[in-house]
Amino acid sequence: MSLESLREEVCRANKMLQQYGLVCLHSGNVSGLDRSTGRLVIKPSGVDYETLTPEDLVEVDLITGKILSGHLRPSVDLPHHLYIYRNMPGVGGIAHAHSDYATAWATVGRPIPLCLTEIADYFGAEIPCAPYVDNEGDNIGQAIIRYRNRAPAILLANHGAFTWGPTAIDAVKLAIALEDVAKKAFLACQLGKPLEIPLEEARKWYDKYHHGYGQIVPPRTPTTVSRGGSGPGA
Protein backbone atom coordinates (compact mmCIF):
# COMPACT_ATOMS: atom_id res chain seq x y z
CA MET A 1 0.00 0.00 0.00
CA SER A 2 1.31 3.46 -0.86
CA LEU A 3 1.90 5.92 1.94
CA GLU A 4 -0.78 8.11 0.42
CA SER A 5 -3.35 5.29 0.62
CA LEU A 6 -2.31 4.53 4.19
CA ARG A 7 -2.78 8.17 5.18
CA GLU A 8 -6.23 8.22 3.60
CA GLU A 9 -7.32 5.02 5.31
CA VAL A 10 -6.03 6.06 8.72
CA CYS A 11 -7.62 9.50 8.39
CA ARG A 12 -10.96 7.87 7.55
CA ALA A 13 -10.58 5.45 10.47
CA ASN A 14 -9.93 8.34 12.87
CA LYS A 15 -13.00 10.18 11.66
CA MET A 16 -15.07 7.03 12.19
CA LEU A 17 -14.22 7.21 15.90
CA GLN A 18 -16.11 10.47 16.04
CA GLN A 19 -18.88 9.54 13.61
CA TYR A 20 -19.77 6.55 15.78
CA GLY A 21 -19.75 8.58 18.99
CA LEU A 22 -16.71 6.92 20.56
CA VAL A 23 -14.82 10.07 21.48
CA CYS A 24 -15.28 13.37 23.30
CA LEU A 25 -13.67 16.49 21.82
CA HIS A 26 -10.13 15.46 20.75
CA SER A 27 -9.84 12.19 22.65
CA GLY A 28 -9.05 8.89 20.95
CA ASN A 29 -6.69 7.99 18.12
CA VAL A 30 -6.12 5.44 15.38
CA SER A 31 -2.88 4.43 13.65
CA GLY A 32 -2.03 2.20 10.72
CA LEU A 33 1.21 0.43 9.85
CA ASP A 34 2.66 -0.61 6.52
CA ARG A 35 4.88 -3.54 7.53
CA SER A 36 6.59 -3.67 4.14
CA THR A 37 8.19 -0.27 4.78
CA GLY A 38 8.09 -0.22 8.59
CA ARG A 39 6.26 3.10 8.58
CA LEU A 40 3.17 3.96 10.53
CA VAL A 41 0.91 7.00 10.51
CA ILE A 42 -0.99 8.24 13.55
CA LYS A 43 -3.32 11.06 14.53
CA PRO A 44 -1.64 14.27 15.68
CA SER A 45 -2.24 15.33 19.28
CA GLY A 46 -5.23 17.52 20.21
CA VAL A 47 -6.52 18.10 16.68
CA ASP A 48 -10.22 18.41 15.82
CA TYR A 49 -11.67 15.42 14.01
CA GLU A 50 -13.76 17.64 11.77
CA THR A 51 -10.77 19.33 10.22
CA LEU A 52 -8.37 16.39 10.22
CA THR A 53 -6.81 15.68 6.79
CA PRO A 54 -4.57 12.82 5.60
CA GLU A 55 -1.68 15.28 5.45
CA ASP A 56 -2.09 16.13 9.16
CA LEU A 57 -1.22 12.58 10.19
CA VAL A 58 2.25 12.05 11.61
CA GLU A 59 4.51 9.48 9.94
CA VAL A 60 6.73 7.49 12.31
CA ASP A 61 9.43 4.85 11.90
CA LEU A 62 8.44 1.60 13.59
CA ILE A 63 11.98 0.65 14.70
CA THR A 64 13.36 3.98 15.86
CA GLY A 65 10.09 5.68 16.83
CA LYS A 66 11.33 8.83 15.08
CA ILE A 67 9.03 11.19 13.26
CA LEU A 68 9.71 10.90 9.53
CA SER A 69 7.48 13.67 8.27
CA GLY A 70 4.77 16.01 9.43
CA HIS A 71 4.78 19.40 11.11
CA LEU A 72 2.43 18.37 13.96
CA ARG A 73 3.20 16.49 17.18
CA PRO A 74 1.90 12.89 17.27
CA SER A 75 -0.66 11.61 19.76
CA VAL A 76 0.71 11.27 23.28
CA ASP A 77 -0.32 7.61 22.98
CA LEU A 78 2.24 6.92 20.23
CA PRO A 79 4.49 4.85 22.56
CA HIS A 80 1.64 2.41 23.25
CA HIS A 81 0.94 1.99 19.54
CA LEU A 82 4.63 1.35 18.85
CA TYR A 83 4.84 -1.19 21.65
CA ILE A 84 1.88 -3.13 20.32
CA TYR A 85 3.13 -3.17 16.73
CA ARG A 86 6.55 -4.33 17.88
CA ASN A 87 5.11 -7.17 19.93
CA MET A 88 2.18 -8.36 17.82
CA PRO A 89 3.44 -9.30 14.36
CA GLY A 90 0.05 -9.62 12.66
CA VAL A 91 -1.27 -6.22 13.65
CA GLY A 92 -1.58 -3.45 11.02
CA GLY A 93 -4.01 -1.09 12.75
CA ILE A 94 -4.74 0.06 16.31
CA ALA A 95 -7.59 2.11 17.74
CA HIS A 96 -7.80 3.74 21.17
CA ALA A 97 -10.90 5.34 22.63
CA HIS A 98 -12.58 6.14 25.94
CA SER A 99 -16.03 5.20 24.68
CA ASP A 100 -18.77 5.42 27.31
CA TYR A 101 -19.78 1.84 28.02
CA ALA A 102 -16.41 0.17 27.45
CA THR A 103 -14.90 2.70 29.85
CA ALA A 104 -17.65 2.06 32.41
CA TRP A 105 -16.64 -1.61 32.57
CA ALA A 106 -13.02 -0.54 32.83
CA THR A 107 -13.82 1.84 35.68
CA VAL A 108 -14.95 -1.01 37.88
CA GLY A 109 -12.19 -3.29 36.59
CA ARG A 110 -14.56 -5.90 35.20
CA PRO A 111 -14.15 -7.85 31.96
CA ILE A 112 -17.13 -7.84 29.58
CA PRO A 113 -18.57 -11.32 29.93
CA LEU A 114 -19.12 -13.62 26.96
CA CYS A 115 -22.89 -13.24 27.05
CA LEU A 116 -23.79 -12.20 23.49
CA THR A 117 -23.51 -14.02 20.19
CA GLU A 118 -22.21 -10.70 18.89
CA ILE A 119 -19.26 -10.93 21.30
CA ALA A 120 -18.65 -14.47 20.04
CA ASP A 121 -18.82 -13.27 16.41
CA TYR A 122 -16.32 -10.46 16.78
CA PHE A 123 -14.09 -11.37 19.70
CA GLY A 124 -14.54 -15.09 20.32
CA ALA A 125 -14.10 -14.64 24.06
CA GLU A 126 -14.77 -12.24 26.94
CA ILE A 127 -13.05 -8.85 26.73
CA PRO A 128 -10.39 -8.76 29.46
CA CYS A 129 -9.61 -5.77 31.67
CA ALA A 130 -6.01 -4.93 32.60
CA PRO A 131 -5.31 -3.36 36.00
CA TYR A 132 -4.63 0.38 36.25
CA VAL A 133 -1.23 1.58 35.07
CA ASP A 134 0.05 5.11 34.62
CA ASN A 135 0.89 6.64 31.25
CA GLU A 136 4.65 6.61 31.61
CA GLY A 137 7.11 4.72 29.39
CA ASP A 138 5.85 1.38 28.13
CA ASN A 139 3.52 0.72 31.05
CA ILE A 140 0.35 0.80 28.95
CA GLY A 141 1.92 -1.19 26.12
CA GLN A 142 3.13 -3.88 28.50
CA ALA A 143 -0.26 -4.09 30.20
CA ILE A 144 -1.89 -4.71 26.83
CA ILE A 145 0.59 -7.28 25.60
CA ARG A 146 -0.02 -9.48 28.60
CA TYR A 147 -3.57 -10.08 27.29
CA ARG A 148 -2.79 -10.37 23.59
CA ASN A 149 -3.91 -13.97 23.17
CA ARG A 150 -7.42 -13.47 24.53
CA ALA A 151 -9.35 -11.23 22.13
CA PRO A 152 -8.41 -8.44 19.71
CA ALA A 153 -9.48 -5.88 22.35
CA ILE A 154 -8.64 -4.92 25.91
CA LEU A 155 -10.05 -2.66 28.60
CA LEU A 156 -7.62 -0.58 30.68
CA ALA A 157 -8.88 0.04 34.21
CA ASN A 158 -9.99 3.66 34.89
CA HIS A 159 -9.01 4.61 31.38
CA GLY A 160 -10.53 3.19 28.19
CA ALA A 161 -9.88 0.52 25.57
CA PHE A 162 -7.60 -0.55 22.73
CA THR A 163 -8.59 -2.69 19.74
CA TRP A 164 -6.41 -3.98 16.90
CA GLY A 165 -6.62 -5.82 13.61
CA PRO A 166 -5.01 -6.30 10.18
CA THR A 167 -5.78 -2.69 9.15
CA ALA A 168 -6.74 0.63 10.72
CA ILE A 169 -10.33 0.20 9.46
CA ASP A 170 -10.53 -3.28 10.99
CA ALA A 171 -9.28 -1.86 14.31
CA VAL A 172 -11.82 0.95 14.37
CA LYS A 173 -14.65 -1.42 13.43
CA LEU A 174 -13.69 -3.52 16.45
CA ALA A 175 -13.76 -0.34 18.57
CA ILE A 176 -17.30 0.28 17.31
CA ALA A 177 -18.30 -3.33 17.98
CA LEU A 178 -16.68 -3.23 21.42
CA GLU A 179 -18.74 -0.20 22.48
CA ASP A 180 -21.86 -1.84 21.04
CA VAL A 181 -21.46 -5.05 23.04
CA ALA A 182 -20.27 -3.12 26.12
CA LYS A 183 -23.59 -1.25 26.06
CA LYS A 184 -25.74 -4.33 25.60
CA ALA A 185 -23.90 -6.26 28.31
CA PHE A 186 -24.23 -3.21 30.59
CA LEU A 187 -27.99 -3.01 29.98
CA ALA A 188 -28.39 -6.74 30.57
CA CYS A 189 -26.64 -6.39 33.96
CA GLN A 190 -29.33 -3.88 35.00
CA LEU A 191 -32.05 -6.47 34.32
CA GLY A 192 -30.44 -9.46 36.00
CA LYS A 193 -27.52 -11.79 35.61
CA PRO A 194 -26.43 -12.16 31.98
CA LEU A 195 -26.50 -15.74 30.75
CA GLU A 196 -23.02 -16.72 29.64
CA ILE A 197 -22.23 -18.55 26.42
CA PRO A 198 -19.88 -21.55 26.83
CA LEU A 199 -16.57 -21.09 25.00
CA GLU A 200 -17.22 -24.09 22.75
CA GLU A 201 -20.51 -22.49 21.63
CA ALA A 202 -18.77 -19.16 21.04
CA ARG A 203 -16.34 -20.92 18.76
CA LYS A 204 -19.21 -21.93 16.40
CA TRP A 205 -20.31 -18.31 15.99
CA TYR A 206 -16.77 -17.02 15.61
CA ASP A 207 -15.91 -19.56 12.94
CA LYS A 208 -19.10 -18.97 10.97
CA TYR A 209 -18.65 -15.24 11.18
CA HIS A 210 -15.04 -15.35 10.08
CA HIS A 211 -15.49 -17.88 7.31
CA GLY A 212 -19.08 -17.92 6.11
CA TYR A 213 -20.04 -14.29 6.45
CA GLY A 214 -19.83 -11.36 4.05
CA GLN A 215 -18.85 -11.30 0.40
CA ILE A 216 -15.87 -12.97 -1.22
CA VAL A 217 -13.47 -10.21 -2.10
CA PRO A 218 -9.93 -10.46 -3.39
CA PRO A 219 -7.39 -9.49 -0.73
CA ARG A 220 -6.04 -6.07 -1.55
CA THR A 221 -2.43 -6.68 -0.56
CA PRO A 222 -0.07 -9.61 -1.34
CA THR A 223 -0.45 -10.67 2.28
CA THR A 224 -3.51 -12.85 2.62
CA VAL A 225 -5.80 -10.95 4.98
CA SER A 226 -9.20 -12.28 5.90
CA ARG A 227 -11.67 -9.54 5.07
CA GLY A 228 -14.81 -11.61 5.13
CA GLY A 229 -16.92 -8.94 6.75
CA SER A 230 -17.24 -6.65 9.67
CA GLY A 231 -20.55 -7.17 11.38
CA PRO A 232 -22.47 -10.21 12.54
CA GLY A 233 -25.91 -11.44 11.83
CA ALA A 234 -26.53 -10.19 8.32
Residues 6+ apart with CB under 8 A from 19: none
Catalytic residue among 56, 83, 101, 121: 121
Q: With respect to a copy of itself, which residue has the nearer C-beta, 10 or 23?
A: 23
Output phi, psi for 223, to 5 deg: -65, 135
Is residue 125 a contact point for a copy of itself (CB under 8 A)? Answer: no
Cα dihedral: 116, 119, 124, 128 (round 10): -110
Residues 6+ apart with CB under 8 A from 97: 17, 22, 23, 27, 28, 160, 161, 175, 179
Cα–Cα distance for residue pair 47/206, rounded to 1 Å:
37
Q: Is 213 annotated in the active site?
A: yes
Q: With respect to a copy of itself, which residue has the nearer C-beta, 35 or 128?
A: 128
Is residue 9 a contact point for a copy of itself (CB under 8 A)? Answer: no
Which residue in 10, 47, 94, 143 binds a copy of itself (CB under 8 A)? Answer: 47
Element housing 33 (H / E): strand 29-34
Q: Is 100 annotated in the active site?
A: no
Is residue 180 a contact point for a copy of itself (CB under 8 A)? Answer: yes
Task: Give residues 150-169 in contact with a copy of itself (rule: CB under 8 A).
Answer: 157-160
Is residue 124 a contact point for a copy of itself (CB under 8 A)? Answer: no
130: left (phi over 0), alpha (psi -120 to 50) or beta: beta
In terms of Cα–Cα distance, which of 1, 13, 3, 7 is closest to 170? 13
Which residue in 135, 221, 223, 226 binds a copy of itself (CB under 8 A)? Answer: 135
Cβ atoms of 140 and 60 closer than 8 Å:
no
Q: With respect to a copy of itself, which residue has the nearer C-beta, 35 or 213?
A: 213
Is residue 190 a contact point for a copy of itself (CB under 8 A)? Answer: yes
Is residue 81 a contact point for a copy of itself (CB under 8 A)? Answer: no
Is residue 108 a contact point for a copy of itself (CB under 8 A)? Answer: yes
Catalytic residue among 20, 132, 147, 213: 213
> What are the residues facing 130 on neighbouring strands?
156
Is residue 26 a contact point for a copy of itself (CB under 8 A)? Answer: yes
Task: Give residues 85-104 in contact with a copy of itself (rule: CB under 8 A).
Answer: 96, 98, 100-101, 103-104
Is residue 206 a contact point for a copy of itself (CB under 8 A)? Answer: no
User: Nearest-5° angle of CA 186, CA 189, CA 153?
Assistant: 40
Name the residues annotated as catalytic. Answer: 121, 213
